[in-house]
Chain A
Amino acid sequence: MIRFEHVNKTYPDGTVAVADFSLEVPSHQVAVLLGSSGCGKTTLMRMVNRMVEPTSGDVWIDDDRVSDLDPVKLRRRIGYVMQSGGLLPHRSTIDNVATVPLLGGSTRRAAHARARELLELVGLPESVARRYPSQLSGGQRQRVGVARALAADPNILLMDEPFGAVDPVVRNELQAWLLQIQDELAKTILFVTHDVDEAFLLGQEVLVLRTGAEVAQQGTPAEILLEPADDFVHHFIGGSRRHLHTEVRDGRRLVVDADGRVAGVATDPTGPA
């Protein structure tokens, strides 16, 4: 469980990154913070592992207030995946994955055995273990990033636009894969993205944020799609692109948006016209 209680982050120059934010992410759920860059979503995420200290308010993980915990130990019990993959460029794949268990005092042998298990879990072949991050593809690097975040078997995963730097094909593949391993692992995940489709695909709960991490709307993807709270949310999630109807063109029933652009094919032949 992750809980934010009225957190505020104001920088010394008066910039308000987070005005007043509260949220509870129940255990084993995926919550997505969705917003444009600069809305404070990454700041919120970094409060969980104390990379950013709130000016006021509290963050709790499970039954601990994070400000009561030693930051170094706290970070070792939270998995963290960054956009860049953030791997250590001078360590081989297997050493990168073994980082957190080693920092936590595991022996090298045990940490490497654990790292090999995880490489298998994230679907990477044995042959990448000895390679350095710069020798991997973008998609492989992100998988290694996830493997490393899982290595110490944390309850909580923080994912900061983890698939933002890879091409759309690989991104779709990684998203599907994440859903699949989440079925098995059931971690509590806080996921940050500016990609609406990604948010709706992955999140059980989605928060649309405006500047200052103000919650414009919070709900399931279906709730937000069906009842956008206001114009901001309506436009952010795609505006007229989300108003779909079907049309028959050249004998096929197509799904078309409000501007007449084709969005897909209707596979239900008896559906209403």
Chain B
Amino acid sequence: MSEFNSGSLTASNIHLAFGSNKVLRGIDLHVPQGTTASVIGPSGSGKSTLLRVMNRLIEPDQGDIVLDGKSVLKDNPDELRRRIGMVFQQFNLFPHKTVLQNVSLALVKLRKMSKDQANAKALEQLELVGLAHKADARPGNLSGGQQQRVAIARALAMEPEVMFFDEATSALDPELVKGVLALMTDLSKGGMTMVVVTHEMGFSRNVSDTVTFMDAGVVVETGSPEELFTAPKTDRLKGFLSDVL
């Protein structure tokens, strides 16, 4: 049973170029409902860009994005993004607002909830990430790990069908990484559909259902964690794994 109203996500044949720089060259990614796909690869391989194309922060030049069996390229991109939560490497909390307001802002303005409803819901989400007691603090007063958990609560409050994590633990001090990864693991086990761009090979291997290895704007290998980590087929993946493990 899923705790979340999650959906499936498919990107097919995604192409994107910035000028002559071809960042994505025909990416296919299929994430069935309730599963976690991790995307690994060297920096500059286009992983983070792929996330931004899939929620149309960047419009693809070519290809299709299908959420819950329906292409979303013709929809209003703002509405699409309300259905996909995103967590960033640098947290990107709003520093001029309290922790509670960070979570409730979109509920009030986009979900049109009353202030009381939104605050109750936001507090519930903060409870879930163990930070209800910081509701009135400013993000600047929290540790990086706490900030990232608030960012996750902020995204979850919108009841997304899919969650994107863009190197969510890369900017954290090593001892703060664990708490965030534990929370992500809970979400994954709870049935959230997740796309996780990560350098955390432990998470990728132990938590995700599929692993996709990208390099230079293409998917080089994709499959189960066992397939990719224990029996990599390509030299590029072998080389990458020997560099990072």
Same complex for A and B? Answer no
Which positions in B face A, CB cutoff 8 Å?
none
Which positions in A face B, CB cutoff 8 Å?
none
